[in-house]
Amino acid sequence: MRQATLVLLLVLFAAVAKAQTEISLTAGGYFPVNNPASPGNAFALEGSLAHSIASVPFVSLYLELPVAGSFESHVPSPSLSGAVTFVSNYTSLFVTPGLRLKLAPSFPLSPYFAVGGGYGRFNHKLSDGSTSATNNGVFDVGGGLDMKVAPFLSLRGEVRDFYSSGLSLLPLSTNDRQHNLFATAGIVVHF
């Protein structure tokens, strides 16, 4: 029993000793999916902070905090008559802490998968010039590939889907859930 405890402590110590932190900044596109209002695509930025919590030779598990946002996504004007107010464009922000599983972390190419949940915010600009905002819960899933270019620097390509509610672009909309795809590329600093 004592030997098993000692071995377990050594494995945990080795995992913590190899702990690695990553900071990434990526840019690309925002692509809203399955919304009947057909909002347009927009420019997107994502930053992420991740820390390795466990590692074995070919797999590392990270706690991560991604923060992603999109810029103005234009919404086509509905053909509604009268004094109906509708959303003309919106921006989005997602903060979804979660887990990332990275395969072959010490290899030149390292694929990874991520899952998390947290907070989403949509800022609406309405057709009458006013603004409104909605806050809601978000679930995210994604994956990507890191390519090492230097000992402490990698290039990253990533696709992440933030599944959210609360967008409500049309006055009588019944579909209140939407996939918010982010396809981004950028850099990662390891330390």
Domain limits of the chain? 2-190
Lowest mean per-residue pLDDT among 115-124, 146-155, 169-178: 169-178
Alpha-carbon distances, residue 161 vs 155, 170, 181, 183 (angstroms): 20, 22, 4, 9
Specify the residue for token string 């209002």.
37
Identity of the amino acid at 141: V
Q: What's the pLDDT at 41?
A: 85
* DSSP code of residue 107: S
pTM (2 d.p.): 0.81
17 pLDDT tier (thresholds 50, 70, 90):
very low
pLDDT, averaged across the chain: 83
Contact 91, 65 (CB under 8 A): no
- What separation in angstroms does the CA of 126 have from each of 8, 35, 122, 144? 58, 18, 12, 35
pLDDT digits over 71-115, tens only? Answer: 987 776 655 545 555 667 888 999 999 999 999 998 999 999 999
Decide which of 3.90.1580.10, 2.40.160.20, 2.40.50.1040, 1.20.810.10 is the CATH code for 2-190: 2.40.160.20
Residue 140 CA: distances (Å) to CA of 3, 107, 115, 182, 190: 41, 26, 6, 11, 23
Helix (H, G, I), strand (E, B) or coil at 175: coil
